[in-house]
Structure 1
Amino acid sequence: MRKSKFSDAQIIAILKQNENGVSVPELCREHGMSSALFYKWRAKYGGMDASLMKRLKELEEENKRLKKMYA
């Protein structure tokens, strides 16, 4: 799987900018991303802070490792 060019902190910052009133097309233009990517992030990470996001990533990695071990 391809690594994202945005770090977890950047994703959180972009989502917070939208919550503070910056429009989606403006954010996408500023950061060089698609609106589909923004909405995907909002669905997945909306309402999270950095610590929750880190925990989610750890759980996903553990789940991936366990699935690989089981197969």
Structure 2
Amino acid sequence: MRTTFDAVADAVYIELVPGIEPGRSVRNEIVETDGGTVVLDFDRAGILLGVEVLGATELLDGEFLAGAERIDQQ
């Protein structure tokens, strides 16, 4: 499981299936909350591929964010 965090976008992606190929995600379930948005990505077979969290600093624990791979740093 790979977790990436983009602090600029305040977004986290939790990849539940390694190496998701482009186009594999064909259905998204969106959950709106007071603090942000959670998007569940599914493939054609209904397998949950990953979870995107927008508004991550509001919705996720700081320790979890600290352990995520930062993708906003050059």
| Structure with the higher strand share, 1 or 2 | 2
TM-score, length-normalised on structure 2?
Answer: 0.25
User: Highest CA radius of gyration, 1 or 2?
Assistant: 1
| Structure with the higher helix share, 1 or 2 | 1
TM-score, length-normalised on structure 1?
Answer: 0.26
